[in-house]
Amino acid sequence: MVVTASKSGTVGGFAVKAAAMADILKVLARHNPGLSKTALMATGKVVVAISAATAQLTTEQQQKIVSREDKLAEALGAVVADLAARDTPLLTVLTVERPVEASKGAGLGKLLELDEGRRRLSTYSTPVRIEDWAGAVAGPAEIEKAFGTKRSTLHDWQKRGAVIGLLKGERKHVFPLAQFVDGRPVQGMSDVNRIIGNPRTAWQWLTQPKPSIGGAPIDRLKAGKIGEVIAAAEQDFG
């Protein structure tokens, strides 16, 4: 069979010479003597369409198809059956009663310098205290006093992602208290931190109600539902 890229007699974007189509039909008729003329022609067109689509793939892609030959017939059968079952055409023809107006956007505009961009952004932003969105927070000294957790231990937990530290000011970190149970980090926090990657984003996600898991992820972690919280984080950020 010869598949070419000429513009006439195309099937799936490729052209099949009449002689090649005749050869395909002869082979199909010889090996399937029970096929009617209508079935023979339909089968021939399916073979041509599949061949044309395969010819556009890279060699690597073609090799992958050959290596999964056991699944190929099943997949093609499902596609053909789906097309045969459709009662409506694949394309919907729309009637346009008047000329379509061509429009063009203004684009992104001139690129701003960093300082100017920050200045303009500041006119839209509203300062919010970290406690207003993160809940109760405490610094290392307060946590050591409340829980007896040494600063070195807290630093190690933060380094491993076992706790979330939020930057307050330029250098100081504070730690949301809701992530601690009996002075220790909630199990599963390191997995959530690893998946999301950004402490602020992670804490916002952990504290927002998520109906698909029945509540805020941080509360589900405390309830021992670590697996479902990790799965939800991977679905949202993975």
Among 168, 161, 171, residue whose Cα is nearest residue 138:
168
- What does the pLDDT look like over 119-131, one tens digit per residue? 888 887 777 889 9
Report percent pLDDT > 90 for the chain: 44
- Report residue 175 as tokens: 């730690």
Confidence (pLDDT) at 161 = 95
Confidence (pLDDT) at 225 = 95
Residue 189 contacts residue 163 (beta carbons within 8 Å): yes
Among 214, 147, 160, residue whose Cα is nearest residue 192:
160
CA-to-CA dists, residue 20 to 24, 37, 176, 194, angstroms: 6, 18, 72, 57
| Beta-ladder partners of 173 | 167
> 167 φ, ψ to 5°?
-70, 125
Confidence (pLDDT) at 4 = 40
Query: Does residue 95 carry a pLDDT above 70?
Result: yes
Query: Does residue 6 carry a pLDDT above 50?
Result: no
| The three-state (H, E, C) secondary structure of 15-59, written as one string | EECHHHHHHHHHHHHHHCCCCCHHHHHHHHHHHHHHHHHHHCCCH
Residue 188 contacts residue 231 (beta carbons within 8 Å): no
pTM to 2 decimals? 0.51
- What does the pLDDT look like over 52-88, one tens digit per residue? 777 777 887 777 777 777 777 777 777 777 777 766 5
Query: Does residue 10 carry a pLDDT above 50?
Result: yes
- What does the pLDDT look like over 26-37, one tens digit per residue? 887 888 887 788
- What does the pLDDT look like over 182-204, one tens digit per residue? 999 999 999 999 999 999 999 99
For residue 237, with 0-12 CB atoms within 10 Å meaning exposed, 13-18 middle and 19 or more buried, which class applies? middle
Dihedral angle sign, alpha carbons of residues 191, 194, 200, 201: negative
Residue 22 contacts residue 35 (beta carbons within 8 Å): no
Task: Name residue, tokens 């993975």.
Answer: 238
**Which carries the bigger pLDDT value, residue 210 or residue 71?**
210
